[in-house]
Structure 1
C-alpha cells in the first residue's frame, strides 16, 4: 500500500470517529490542500522557466520555505499517528 493510499484510508476511517484521530484527519486534509497549492505553484514556476521566462528568486525561495514548513507539519502528524 502506498503512503498516499494509507493516509487517505486513515483519514476516511477517522473522520467518523471524532476524538484525536478525527482531529488528525481534519488536519491532514488541510495539509493536503496546502501541499496541493504548493505543487501548483512549483508547476507554474517550472512551466515559466521551461518556456524561457524568468521567475523572481523570492518566488522560488517562498515556495521552498512553504515546502519545508509543511513537510515538518506532515512529519509531526505522522509521528502522532504512529504513536
Structure 2
C-alpha cells in the first residue's frame, strides 16, 4: 500500500504543541478510542471548533436546553391527550407555539454546525 505524504493531502505546515503529560495522555487515549492518529484527532477538533465558531461546551449546553424543552413539550402533549380522552377540549395553541419555537432553535443550531 502506497501512503501519500501529508503535502499530497494539502497539509504543508507543521504545528508544534507542547502538552503536560496528563493532557497528552488524554489526547492519545481519545485518538485510540476514535481509531485515528493523534494528529488527525487534533486536526478534527481544531477544524470543528473553527468551522462552528463556538466551543463544544456551548453546543452541548444548547442541545441540553433544547432537550429539556422538548421533554416539557412532550409532557404537555401527554396532558392534552389525557384531557381530550377524558372529554375535555383544552386549547393546544400554546403547545404548538412551543413546538414551533423549539424547532426553529434546533434548525438554527444545526445551521451553525454545518459548514
TM-score (normalizing by structure 2): 0.51
Provide the alpha-carbon RMSD of the alignment: 1.6
Task: After superposing the two structures, state which structure 1 stretch, 19-28 or 36-45, moved more.
Answer: 19-28
- 1:53 deviation in Å? 2.1
1:24 aligns with 2:59: yes
- 1:54 deviation in Å? 2.6
Name the CA distance, whole Å, in 1 between partners of 2:72 and 2:66. 10
More helix, by proportion: 1
**Residue aligning to 1:35:** 70
Q: Gaps (5+ residues) in structure 1?
A: 1-18
**Residue aligning to 1:49:** 84
Q: Gaps (5+ residues) in structure 2?
A: 1-53
Name the CA distance, whole Å, in 1 between partners of 2:113 and 2:85. 39
**Residue aligning to 2:104:** 72
- 1:50 deviation in Å? 1.2
- 1:26 deviation in Å? 0.5
- 1:22 deviation in Å? 1.5
- 1:45 deviation in Å? 0.2
- 1:82 deviation in Å? 1.7
TM-score (normalizing by structure 1): 0.68
Q: How many residues align?
A: 63
